Structure 1
Amino acid sequence: MPAVSAPPATDPDLRHTSGSRGLRRTQLALFGAGLATFLLLYSTQALLPALSDDLHLTPGQASWTVSVASIGLALAVIPVSALSERYGRITVMTASVFTAAAIALVLPFAPDLTTLVVLRALQGVALAGLPATAMAFLAEEVHPSALAGAMGLYVAGNSIGGMAGRLISGVVAGSFGWRWGLASVAVLAVVCAVAFRLLVPAARYFRPAPVNPAALWRTITGHLGNPLLARLFALGLLFMTVFGAVYTVMGYRLVAAPFGLSQGLASSIFAVYVFGTFASAMSARVTGRFGRRGTLYLAIGTVAVGLVLTLTQSLALSLAGLVLITVGFFTGHCVASAAVGRTATHARAQASALYLAAYYLGNSLGGTLGATAYHGAGWDGTVAVALGAMVLAAGVTLYGTVQARSRLVAHA
């Protein structure tokens, strides 16, 4: 997507400012959209043990209900976001959230794994119209002085939706089965979609532009050819590989021996997301103290220590490990994603969309590899996959450190 619009110098600036009714409506609308997006994207993750029991699936097979949604979003986020340049941000976001919610209403009636996987893939594609488009809409319609707060509330909706979707579906499934778990999330997503459409103010600064596939392709290849951006995309993928592996499989680990928790109680682990939200808020301060690469090393080390702690047979230590993994993941993700915007000198929206694509592909990769490893080697296998991803992340960061020092020496 090209740079967002700004009001001409001769026209009054009508963008939403702090305290205005328009800003409040915009914030609430986008909060609802973000909530719906992540309610739906991860709606089956807490249900995997129940799906395995009811449909007689291995963890690897059940994990595809999570992975394909992320794959669909990752593959569609760039082309679908580009359509918003032609048809409008609100049009694309509305179509996206209502289509995804409609699919959610059908999911509880899926008779088998194949149907469930196909519907989840379509749902992922539908959801692709929200993440990058919502950010472009906010940048166009909200005054710069109020943009950080508006963006923060949108991201909070994402985080709360990711946690709530897993918690609600898992707790309901613990009492009534996985189909009712999915139904509960679907109904909530419909409410959020309706709230978004009723609240979102009309766009004032959107200007339709033709979609140029050739120019879009040149932009994408140019970003991928930028070594620093490529490393940041790789870091997003690797951090999310760990997160996808751990959270896809942890439910299986907690309901099995030696812990033996119920489905509902095992689903409550997603409340750990609260620590991730706190880590996100603190990431800028930590980066200011340790620098970008120093913070990345700290995040990688925190995740690695957390993974090792989960190998114990102690529930308390395993949950402490999960907290460390979550804090480390959110810190690393915040640092890498923020660096993308600073590194890209043009077409920042496409750079952000590429990061999101890598990020969600990492979720799919981690979920599938982690569940397959768990089926073959238990939790130790899942941890090995996650630690391997962190070793690669450390290697990418170390390579960047060496390159930066080489440039300093060359210019000395």
Structure 2
Amino acid sequence: MNYIQRGTHTFKMVNIALFAGGFNTFAILWGTQPLLPEIVKEFHISPAVSSLSLSSTTIALAVSMLIAGSLSEVFGRKPVMTISLIVSSILSILTAFSPNFHLLILCRILQGISLAGLPAVAMAYLGEEIDPKSLGMAMGLYISGNSIGGMGGRIISGILTDYFSWHVALAFIGIISLLASLIFWSILPKSTHFKPRKFEIKKLAISLFVQFKEPGLLYLFLTGFLLMGCFVSLYNYIGFELMAPPYSLSQTLVGFIFIVYIVGTFSSTWMGMLADQYGKRKLLMVSLFIVLLGTCITLNSSLSLKIIGIAIFTYGFFAGHSIGSGWVGQIATHDKAQASSLYLFFYYAGSSIGGTVSGAYYSSFGWHGVVSMIVVHTIISIIIVIRLGSISIRALRHSPHRI
């Protein structure tokens, strides 16, 4: 079987397409995050309640990915991803016209459902089409598109909100995303190793839950849950922290804090390549310790050190996500899209639960409360990866790419 190898024109087209798709998805998904203080003011709600504009989207995304991954086993990878991108872009434009908080939440839930197609299927597409020796780099480039999309969405929404309104910001993001969707549709190669299944709900459901029997998959799912809970907790409430005294930063400056995503773009690709060379277990462990270090640095009252801490945290997070998500596709022995969608279900469930629960910690204990929660989650993740390593060495010894 001929797989797409690094250095070829097809490899380049795949990476550009999935980069554009990742940009689209995560610009839309995270575009409201820096707007939480504005949403609090306009709708007269608490910070924890305002986080529902993100949590409602991510939980809808998490659940829908289980369905989207299964549908792609029947209808194909590219069609499901393309429809997802176009519909979510249109919904982003419509969301900008929400007149009240309840309608905003409804629109964001619909966005979460429509956004599911790309993240649920992209990892499976790469796992099927890319040569195993090039997969770490390809997965890293895809994750880098996610990070730039998340960064771009946040920065754009922050600037446009300062100069116009959050309504204008969301509409603009929707227009950019629609253009990215057309690029994705036009240049992504069709699947060559995909074998469609019949639409049999019972068999699809059984194959979904059988994934839990794969050695190590559940540990990766739990790691994704905790890691994403940490990530959203930090970025949801750092805006409140920096817009309050003694920092008193503007919405635009807070939006530019997300430029540290650039380090995530670098780390997801570079650490993915190192994981191909030195082993995923070792590099995932290193990534988690980097997350822990960055989190603790944000406790410093110096603005410059706090931003450095955020950058270090972001570096570790995207490295860990790149390695973990790529590992899922290699451990899974069947129905890889379903395995990927399960990982992302836990991943975004962690976002929804962690992002909202940490709001209560922030309201009660301030930034120290958020940091304490992140530290506990990271330490648990490290323990899980140690356990995952022992399972991998024992049960997956026959495949060095999996360890």
Q: TM-score band, normalised by the shorter chain?
A: 0.7 to 0.9
User: How far 1:401 moved relative to its partner?
Assistant: 5.6
* Structure-to-structure mapping, 1:351-362, within 5 angstroms: 351-362=339-350
Residue 62 of structure 1 aligns to which amino acid in structure 2?
Answer: S
Q: Deviations over 1:41-63 (max 9, x none)?
A: 11101111111122212111111
User: How far 1:268 moved relative to its partner?
Assistant: 0.6
Name the stretch that deviates more: 279-288 or 181-190: 279-288
1:376 is matched with which residue?
364
Q: Distance in 1 between matches of 2:218 and 2:193?
A: 32
Residue 298 (1) aligns with residue 289 (2): no
Residue 79 of structure 1 aligns to which amino acid in structure 2?
Answer: I
- Pair member with larger Rg: 1
Q: Distance in 2 between matches of 1:150 and 1:64?
A: 33
Q: Deviations over 1:56-86 (max 9, x none)?
A: 1211111111111111111111211222233
Q: Distance in 2 between matches of 1:266 and 1:35?
A: 20
**Do the aligned residues in 1 keep the contact of 2:140 with 2:269 (CA within 8 Å)?**
no
* Residue 309 (structure 1) aligned to one of 279, 297, 303: 297
User: How far 1:139 moved relative to its partner?
Assistant: 5.6
Residue 35 (1) aligns with residue 56 (2): no
Q: Distance in 2 between matches of 1:403 and 1:16?
A: 30
Structure 2 CA distance for partners of 1:304 and 1:156, relative to 1, 3 Å: closer
2:258 is matched with which residue?
270
* Residue 228 (structure 2) aligned to one of 222, 240, 247: 240
Tell me the C-alpha RMSD between the 2 structures: 3.0
User: How far 1:142 moved relative to its partner?
Assistant: 6.5
Residue 92 (1) aligns with residue 101 (2): no
Q: Deviations over 1:175-222 (max 9, x none)?
A: 212112112211111221233334445666655431232222222322
* Residue 80 (structure 1) aligned to one of 59, 68, 72: 68
**Do the aligned residues in 1 keep the contact of 2:143 with 2:268 (CA within 8 Å)?**
no
**Do the aligned residues in 2 keep the contact of 1:258 with 1:313 (CA within 8 Å)?**
no
Residue 155 of structure 2 aligns to which amino acid in structure 1?
Answer: L
2:336 is matched with which residue?
348
Q: Distance in 2 between matches of 1:301 and 1:14?
A: 34
Residue 212 of structure 1 aligns to which amino acid in structure 2?
Answer: E
2:244 is matched with which residue?
256
SS in 1 for 2:117: coil
**Do the aligned residues in 1 keep the contact of 2:17 with 2:187 (CA within 8 Å)?**
yes
User: How far 1:17 moved relative to its partner?
Assistant: 9.1
1:192 is matched with which residue?
180
1:365 is matched with which residue?
353
Residue 117 (1) aligns with residue 117 (2): no
Residue 323 (1) aligns with residue 311 (2): yes
1:3 is matched with which residue?
none
| % identity of equivalent residues | 36
* Residue 71 (structure 1) aligned to one of 59, 72, 78: 59
Residue 49 (1) aligns with residue 65 (2): no
1:410 is matched with which residue?
none
2:167 is matched with which residue?
179
2:157 is matched with which residue?
169
Q: Distance in 1 between matches of 2:134 and 2:295?
A: 39
Q: Distance in 2 between matches of 1:352 and 1:111?
A: 36
User: How far 1:312 moved relative to its partner?
Assistant: 2.0
Structure 2 CA distance for partners of 1:138 and 1:291, relative to 1, 3 Å: closer
User: How far 1:149 moved relative to its partner?
Assistant: 6.3
1:10 is matched with which residue?
none
Structure 2 CA distance for partners of 1:200 and 1:306, relative to 1, 3 Å: closer
TM-score by length of 2: 0.87
**Do the aligned residues in 2 keep the contact of 1:275 with 1:323 (CA within 8 Å)?**
yes
Name the stretch that deviates more: 329-338 or 271-280: 329-338
Q: Distance in 2 between matches of 1:132 and 1:75?
A: 10
2:122 is matched with which residue?
134
TM-score by length of 1: 0.86
For structure 2, the 5+ residue unaligned runs are: 396-403
Q: Distance in 2 between matches of 1:282 and 1:30?
A: 17
Structure 2 CA distance for partners of 1:401 and 1:187, relative to 1, 3 Å: closer
